[in-house]
Structure 1
Amino acid sequence: MSALVLTSHLWDPTALPGAHWRSAPRGATPEGPLPTTVDEALTWAQAQHGQFAAVIPVEGATLLVTDFGRTIPLLCTRVGGRWVVADHPRPLLEMMPEARLDADGAFQFRHAGFVLGQRTLIEGMWQVPASSVVELRDGEETPRAHMAHMFRYGPDRTDDEQSFAAGFLAALDAAVSRTVELAGQRQIAVPLSGGIDSRLLMALLCRAEAKRVLAFTYGVPGSTEAEVSRTVAQEIGAEWVFVPTDAQKVRRAWIDEGGAFLEDGWAGACLPHYQDWFALRELTGNGTLEPGAVVLPGHTVVGNLHDEQVVTQGRVLGRRELAEVLADHHFCLQGRPRDVRANKVVVEEMRAFLDEINWEPTSTHVQSWIEWFNIRERQAKYINNSMRAYEHFGLDWALPMLDRGVVRAWESGCYTFTDGPRHWYARFTSDLYARTTGAGGEYWAPTLGRLDSRVKGALVSVLRATRADEAARRILSTRTQLNHPMAFEAFLGTHRSSQYVKDLLGGRTLQGVFADLFLADDWAPGTAILPH
C-alpha cells in the first residue's frame, strides 16, 4: 500500500469516498462510481469535466489520475520498499536524504523549461503526465503509465463550418456555465491581454451571466495592450484594473519574496511561471483580488500547432525530421539546437512518444502529433503550471477552455478551422464578441504581427536575402527581453541585465537564463530547493 502526503488544503476528503479527489474550481464532484481497475479508471477519467486529479487505491496498487491538461501535479517515489505519493516535491525530498539532481532532467529543463515524460529534476522521483492513469503496483520499482485521452484529429474531420462552430460554441458555453455555477458568489478574475483567447473568455462569461467579474491587465502604462484591454472590459461591462509594472519595484519585490514562490511553483520538473507573480502580489496585497477568487486565464486547446508548413506541404515528414521540428521549437531556451538534437535521452523520449501514439505518416496525424506533444509537455508543465502562482496567493482557478467537451469539439474540425495562424478562430471570436456586446474593436498584437501578411512576407524575404534576418531578430529580441513591456527583466533580481547581453545576442533567451539560475538555486536570494 502506498503512503500519501497531500500538502494542499484544496483536496476534498468527501467527494470520492475511499479515494482522494481535487477539482478546480473547488466544489466540483466526480462523475460515476469509484473505479477499481486501470481500465475502469481510464474510462472514468474521460467522463470527468473541468480540471481534477485523483489518487485511488485499488487491489495491489495505487492509481494516480490526471486531467487532460495535467493542471494539478502528482509525484511519486520509492521509500523503504513502498510507494510514496505527494502533490509537491518537498515532502518527497525530505524522505530522500541521498537525493541527487537528475542530469538528463536538468539538461531538458535548461533547454525547454520542463522535463519530458515521467522524469523529474530528481533521480528516483516521477511525475504523472497529462491525461494519464499511472499505476503504482506494490512490489514494482517503476510506475506504469496509461493514456486516458490523447489529443488527435479523427479521420472524419468536418468541413461544415456552421456545424463545427455550433458544436464548438455549445461546448464552450457548457464549460464556462459550469465554472460560473461552481464559483457561486465568489469573485471571478480574468487576466485580460486584449488578445483572442481572453476576449473570447470575457464574451463567454457575459453569455453565462457571470456576476462579479474583474478583469486585470499589467504592464507599461499607456500601452496599446492596456488600452485594448480596458475597452474590452468596458464593452463587456466588467470591472477593470491595471497594474503598472515598474522594473525597480518588481526587482525589489522579487529579491525579498521570490524565493517562497519558487519553492511553491516548480512541481518537481517545471520552470516556475513567474509572469503573473507581481500583478497577483499587488492585487491580493491591496485587497482587489479576494481570497479564494476564481481566476480564469485564457489557456485553451486552440493554438498548439506550430511549424504549420509541415502540415500543409505536400510531403509528409518522417519520424526523425518531425522530432527535429519539435526539438527546435521547444528546446530553444539556450539557443543551441544541435546540442539538443545530439542528446540521446531526448531522442529516446521522442521515439517513445511516437511509439505511444501509434505514428502514421499522414498530414492529419502530423498535426495531431505536433499539437499533442505541445499540450502534453509544454502546456501541461509550463503554461498550466501557472496555476501554482494563483495558489501561492490563496486564489482558486479554472480552465474552461481546456474542458474535455471543448477538446473533443475542437478535435472534430478540419484544418480550415484549426489552422496554425488561428484565422478561423479569430473570426469566430470576433463574430461572437460582436453579437454579445454589439461592438467590434481591435486585437492587440506585437508590431510585426499587425502587419499585412503580404507586407510581412516581403519584409522577411528582403531580410533573408540580405542575410540580415537572424541578426535583426536577435538584436530586436535582446532589446525586448532586457527592456520588456511587462518588466520581465526585473526577475533577474540581484543579477545585472548587462552581463547577459552577449549571451542573448548569441541566441540564448531570458527564459534560459532563468532556468539556469533556478538549477543553481540562484534565481532569488535564500533559496535551497534542489539537492547539490
Structure 2
Amino acid sequence: MIILKNNHGFPWTKRNNIYIKGYFYNENREIPVEEIFSLIEKNIDSLEDLYPKIRGNFLIVVEKEEKEYTILADKLRSFPLLYSFDKEWILSDTALSLKEELESREILLTVNQEALREFKMCSFTLGHHTLYENISRINSCSVLNLKEDGSSKEKRFREIFDLCEDHKCLEEEIDEIPKILEKILKRIIATAKSRNKQLIVPLSGGQDSRLIIHTLAQLQAENILCYTYGTKSSPEVQISKKIAEFYNYPWKFVEYTPDKWKNFIARDDFKELLAAANQFISTPHIQEYMALKELLRQGYLEKGGIILPGFSGDFLQGSNIPPYFIVEENISWKNFYEEVKGQYFSHILWDEDMKSHEDETRESIRKKSEFITSSLPWREVLNRYERFGFEDRKLKFIVNSCRVYELFGLEWRTPLWNEEYFHFWKGVPEKRYARELHYLYTQKYQKELQEYLGSAPKHPALPKADLTHFIRKYFPNVFQNIKHKKNHRELLKKYKADPYGWFLICDDREWEKYKNKVYSVNSIVSLKTSDALDIKY
C-alpha cells in the first residue's frame, strides 16, 4: 500500500508502477523526468547497478508484483519515506498519514525508547530509527528492497563520504572552487530561465550564502530575490543588505519580533510545519517559516520559484573537524566517542535516565561508526566522524528543513551539497581544517566584496599542540564539560537578544522551566515537538 500525499514543491510523477519525486542532472543540464522513467523501465531488474549512474535529488519508488517494492533514495535522503509492515508493506511520504493508517488498523504504536533518548539528546534519531518501534525510514545512499513476506534487503552506496587523495597544488585547488560552483549554478540558472522561475537566495551574511550570490553574479544571473530575517539590531542584517547592494540584487528584510513568534507558535502554522517536517526523526526547522510567509503575502515571492540555501558549505569546508584529528597520526576510540557525544549528543543536559543508558549510547555510536578497534589512522577516523554528522544531523535536520520551502510551493537546490562540490572537498582533507582553503579562496576571488564590506574573514588558526589540544586529547570528557558550560552561559546571555529572536518561541514561564537543561534553541524546539506529538520525556 502506498500513501503519497506530499505534492508541495516537488509533486510526485507516476508512470505505470513507478513513482518519482525530485530532479536529475548530468554534466551539462537537468534531465527531464521522462528520461528517468525510461531509464528505470529499461533497467527494472538491475536497479542496484543503475543507482550509481543516477545523479540528482530524488526519491524513486518501484511497485513490483506480489506487493513488493524497490526504493531508491539519493545521497542526501532529500525526500522522506517511512514504512511499516502489517500483512503488507505500507509506505508513506508523511509520518502522520502512516500513523493514522496504522491506527485505523488498530495497531498499537509503541514508542521506541532508545530513539526517544536519541531525539532528546541530539534533536534527531539515529539510523533508520523513528520515534515508534513499528515505523522505519529510508536511509540515504540506498536501494531498499521490501519483500512480500515482510523481510527487507538494503544496499548502501556511501562512497561519497570517503576522503580522497590530494594530488593538486594549492593554487590549482583554489582555482578549482569557482569552476565547480559555476558549473553547478549554470545548470540551475538554465533550468530557471527555461521555465521562467525566480531564483531565491536566503542571505544570512555568512560565508555560504555570499558564496552562492557571488557565483550567481559572476554568471550574470537574473530574476534574483535575496532575503534576510531576524531582529533589526542584528549585525547580520546590515551585512546581508550590503552584500545584495554590492551585487545589485533586490533584497528584502523580514523583521522578527516577540509577538510574531508567540502568534506563530499559537496558530495552526506551527502544527502545519510540524506535520510536514518532523517525520518522527528530527525537530522541525522553524526559523524561515515566518519570513517566507510574509514575503509571499507581500508579493515578493513567486510560487514555483527555486530557492538556493547555503547549507552546509561550512561543514564540507572543514568547520567541524576537531584539531587533533589532523595533527595526530592515530585517534583512539575514546577520543572519537567523546567528540561525537560532545558534538551531537549534548543538545540537552543529560538526566538520570540518559546517564543510566550511556553504555547503550556508546554501543550505538560504535556500531553506527563501525569503530571496532582501540584506535584508527586519522583519515579513517575523520571519515567516520563526518559520516556520522552528515548522515544523521545534516540529512535529518538540515536537509529536512527543505520541507519548509516545499510548504510554500517552492522547489529547492543545494549548490554547496552538490555531488561535484562534495567530491572536491573530500579530496583536500589536510587543507579543510578551520576552513583554511575556503579562506584562501575568499582572499583571491572575493577581495572587492570584502573591501566594500570593510571587513574580511580572519585567517584560520591552524592546529597546534597547545594546552587546549592536550586537554581535548587526554581528558576529552573534561574538555566537553567545559565547552558545554560555556555554551550554556552564552545561551543564557542570548535569550531575548538572539539575532533571529527565535528564543522567544517560549515565554518567560517556559524559559524558567527549560533554561537549566538546554544548550541550544533546538533543544527547546525538541521539547515543544514532543509535547505537540504527545510523546513525553
TM-score bracket for the superposition, by shorter chain length: 0.7 to 0.9
- Structure 1 gap segments, 5+ residues each: 522-527
Cα 1:403/1:253, change in 2 over 3 Å: same
Asked if 1:375 is matched to 2:385, the reply is no
Higher helix share: 2
The size of the alignment, in residue pairs, is 507
Contact 2:330 2:376 in 1 (8 A): yes
Residues of 2 paired with 1:57 and 1:356: CA distance?
36
Contact 2:3 2:97 in 1 (8 A): no
Per the alignment, residue 226 of structure 2 pairs with 215
- The C-alpha deviation readout for 1:234-290, integer Å capped at 9, x for no partner, is 111211111111122221232123222112210221100011122122112222212
Residues of 1 paired with 2:203 and 2:223: CA distance?
15
Cα 1:231/1:307, change in 2 over 3 Å: same
Asked if 1:150 is matched to 2:159, the reply is yes
Asked if 1:432 is matched to 2:445, the reply is yes
Give the one of 120, 123, 128 matched to 2:133.
123
Per the alignment, residue 27 of structure 2 pairs with none
Q: Secondary structure at the match of 2:259?
A: helix
**Alpha-carbon offset, residue 336 of structure 1:** 2.4
Contact 1:50 1:400 in 2 (8 A): no
Residues of 2 paired with 1:503 and 1:438: CA distance?
40
Give the one of 147, 163, 167 matched to 1:137.
147
**Alpha-carbon offset, residue 213 of structure 1:** 0.7
Cα 1:48/1:278, change in 2 over 3 Å: same
Asked if 1:173 is matched to 2:185, the reply is no
Moved more, 178-187 or 188-197: 178-187
Q: Secondary structure at the match of 1:317?
A: strand
Q: 1:334 is matched by which residue type in structure 2?
A: I
- The C-alpha deviation readout for 1:109-151, integer Å capped at 9, x for no partner, is 111111100010122111112222222122134x433212333
- The C-alpha deviation readout for 1:196-215, integer Å capped at 9, x for no partner, is 11011001212333211111
Q: Secondary structure at the match of 1:422?
A: helix
Moved more, 510-519 or 153-162: 153-162
Q: 2:248 is matched by which residue type in structure 1?
A: G
**Alpha-carbon offset, residue 28 of structure 1:** 4.9
Asked if 1:485 is matched to 2:499, the reply is yes
Residues of 1 paired with 2:241 and 2:422: CA distance?
30
Per the alignment, residue 66 of structure 1 pairs with 73
Per the alignment, residue 13 of structure 1 pairs with 13
Residues of 1 paired with 2:45 and 2:454: CA distance?
48
Normalized against structure 2, the TM-score is what? 0.84
**Alpha-carbon offset, residue 459 of structure 1:** 13
Contact 2:71 2:145 in 1 (8 A): yes
**Alpha-carbon offset, residue 492 of structure 1:** 2.0
Per the alignment, residue 53 of structure 2 pairs with 47
- The C-alpha deviation readout for 1:305-358, integer Å capped at 9, x for no partner, is 525223123252233431332122101111329936943543343233233999
Q: 1:46 is matched by which residue type in structure 2?
A: P
Per the alignment, residue 473 of structure 2 pairs with none
Cα 1:452/1:397, change in 2 over 3 Å: closer
Q: 1:19 is matched by which residue type in structure 2?
A: I
Per the alignment, residue 524 of structure 1 pairs with none
Per the alignment, residue 235 of structure 2 pairs with 224
Identical-pair percentage: 19
Cα 1:67/1:316, change in 2 over 3 Å: same
Give the one of 73, 91, 107 matched to 2:117.
107
Asked if 1:239 is matched to 2:238, the reply is no
Cα 1:89/1:245, change in 2 over 3 Å: same
Per the alignment, residue 303 of structure 1 pairs with 315
Contact 1:38 1:133 in 2 (8 A): no
Give the one of 410, 414, 425 matched to 2:425.
410
**Alpha-carbon offset, residue 44 of structure 1:** 3.3
Per the alignment, residue 63 of structure 2 pairs with 57
Residues of 1 paired with 2:459 and 2:262: CA distance?
34
Per the alignment, residue 475 of structure 2 pairs with none
Contact 1:218 1:244 in 2 (8 A): yes
Per the alignment, residue 298 of structure 2 pairs with 286
Per the alignment, residue 201 of structure 2 pairs with 190
Contact 2:143 2:156 in 1 (8 A): yes
Contact 1:196 1:443 in 2 (8 A): no
Moved more, 16-25 or 365-374: 16-25
Describe how 1:272-283 pairs up with structure 2 within 5 A. Answer: 272-283=284-295
Residues of 1 paired with 2:163 and 2:355: CA distance?
32
Q: 2:446 is matched by which residue type in structure 1?
A: Y
Contact 1:255 1:494 in 2 (8 A): no
Residues of 1 paired with 2:144 and 2:375: CA distance?
26
Give the one of 252, 258, 265 matched to 1:254.
265
Q: Secondary structure at the match of 2:140?
A: coil
- The C-alpha deviation readout for 1:13-58, integer Å capped at 9, x for no partner, is 25x6641111159985365821788994344333333321111235
Residues of 1 paired with 2:146 and 2:371: CA distance?
19
Residues of 1 paired with 2:371 and 2:32: CA distance?
31
Cα 1:468/1:49, change in 2 over 3 Å: closer
Cα 1:428/1:41, change in 2 over 3 Å: farther
Q: 1:91 is matched by which residue type in structure 2?
A: S
Residues of 2 paired with 1:72 and 1:432: CA distance?
34
Describe how 1:465-484 pairs up with structure 2 within 5 A. Answer: 473-484=487-498
Per the alignment, residue 398 of structure 1 pairs with 413
Q: Over aligned residue pairs, what C-alpha RMSD do you find?
A: 3.6
Normalized against structure 1, the TM-score is what? 0.84
**Alpha-carbon offset, residue 360 of structure 1:** 8.4
Residues of 2 paired with 1:477 and 1:40: CA distance?
52
Q: 1:422 is matched by which residue type in structure 2?
A: R
Describe how 1:444-483 pairs up with structure 2 within 5 A. Answer: 473-483=487-497
Residues of 2 paired with 1:106 and 1:250: CA distance?
27
Cα 1:40/1:400, change in 2 over 3 Å: farther
